[in-house]
Amino acid sequence: MNEEIENVLNIAHSPEQPLHVDWVNSSDISVTVKRDDLLHAIISGNKWRKLKYALLEILTSSEVNKRLEIISFGGGFSNHIHALAYCCHQLKKQGRTVSFTAIIRGDYSANLTPMLDDIISWGAKIEYVDRLTYKKRNDQAYLDSLKSKLINRSDSKVFIIPEGGSQHSALLGLTELIDELNGEYDYILCPVASGGTMAGLIRATEQLATKIVGVAVLKGRDYLEQLVAEFLPPACDFNNSNWTIEHDFHFGGYAKKNHDLIKFCQEFSADAKIVIEPVYSGKLFFALKHLITHNYFPSDSRILVIHTGGLQGARGDYSK
């Protein structure tokens, strides 16, 4: 099943590529990029890492002829909803009876985003909810009511995947990323939003001397540390272990951007020939440059940056 699902969805292997930059103080360190943005043309890199084991669990836990009802949550530009809707569409093409309902924060019915357009074309059902309802996305009573509303046939089974796809089984996908690496690294950098990706990387490198540096893409000092720590066993407590989150690169909040960031994204994309966007990878590489030029990394450090993908979202206007 493990390989089969990658074949069905046409997932590629992501390359590990040296990055040559001529930033101040960049000459005595080495930077490599793990190109998870190239895993798939549509399924965003880290969303695949996180969804793979959730989908495997769903597919193996029920008989082939059961109807699968999958529910998940996101905003109008969500890479997670986009990736999941596409996966469900492909599984349907393979003959599985899968239906996907996206619970979307805000009402975009009169003004669809490119992401919502796509998922409608892939057969997803959308339920728009207001912010207050959306806040209940992890409350058991609300989830039960959603389940009973959707489960209108006795031969179906309902699965709820949390916002961002950051459930516990998601962490295994990040172990695969680490197992794939050819090089050895002193630092691994990744963006942090719901914390699942970073937590997976911390778990997967527990036995190594690698330090994981998260770059917060939203305002969340302490809150993000807590989110990540909730995924970790107590021994990985954030006070004493090998990870840290940098909070100076969110540009005012989630999907917030300014002229400097946009210019950086354009120049970096052209120079390095690696496309980045302002919501995740732009803030990540902006942080990388700042940290290198300010001598954050000791000489001879080997740094790996995880390009988590997310380019579909770049089609929209995030500031809405």
Ligand X SMILES: *Cc1c(COP(=O)(O)O)cnc(C)c1O
Which residues contact ligand X by CB under 6 A? 44, 46-47, 79-80, 164, 166, 191-198, 280, 308-310
Task: Indicate the residue among 26 and 205 with the shorter CB distance to ligand X.
Answer: 205
Tell me the C-alpha distance between 167 and 104, whole Å.
Answer: 18
Task: Indicate the residue among 134 and 280 with the shorter CB distance to ligand X.
Answer: 280
Residue 160, φ and ψ in degrees, nearest 5: -110, 125
Task: Indicate the residue among 37 and 69 with the shorter CB distance to ligand X.
Answer: 37
Residue type, 139: D
Task: Indicate the residue among 82 and 96 with the shorter CB distance to ligand X.
Answer: 82
Rounded to a whole number of angstroms, the minimum distance from the CB of residue 300 to ligand X is: 28
Tell me the C-alpha distance between 196 and 198, whole Å.
Answer: 6
- Residue 312 DSSP code: G
Tell me the C-alpha distance between 233 and 171, whole Å.
Answer: 12
Rounded to a whole number of angstroms, the minimum distance from the CB of residue 195 to ligand X is: 5
The residue among 285, 212, 275 whose CA lies nearest residue 251 is 285
Q: Tokens 């893409």 — which residue?
A: 217
In a 3-state reduction of DSSP, which class is residue 214? Answer: strand
Do residues 46 and 14 lie in contact, with contact meaning Cβ atoms separated by under 8 Å? no
Rounded to a whole number of angstroms, the minimum distance from the CB of residue 200 to ligand X is: 8
Rounded to a whole number of angstroms, the minimum distance from the CB of residue 110 to ligand X is: 26
Task: Indicate the residue among 254 and 296 with the shorter CB distance to ligand X.
Answer: 254
The tokens describing 208, both together, are 């190594």
Beta sheet of 67-74, edge-to-edge order? 125-129, 98-105, 67-74, 156-161
- Strands 211-216, 243-246: parallel, antiparallel or unpaired by DSSP? parallel
Rounded to a whole number of angstroms, the minimum distance from the CB of residue 270 to ligand X is: 20
The residue among 213, 199, 237 whose CA lies nearest residue 301 is 213
Task: Indicate the residue among 26 and 78 with the shorter CB distance to ligand X.
Answer: 78
Is 60 buried (19+), middle (13-18) or exposed (0-12) by CB count in 10 A? exposed
Rounded to a whole number of angstroms, the minimum distance from the CB of residue 184 to ligand X is: 24
Q: Tokens 């995880």 — which residue?
A: 306
Rounded to a whole number of angstroms, the minimum distance from the CB of residue 312 to ligand X is: 9
Task: Indicate the residue among 44 and 113 with the shorter CB distance to ligand X.
Answer: 44
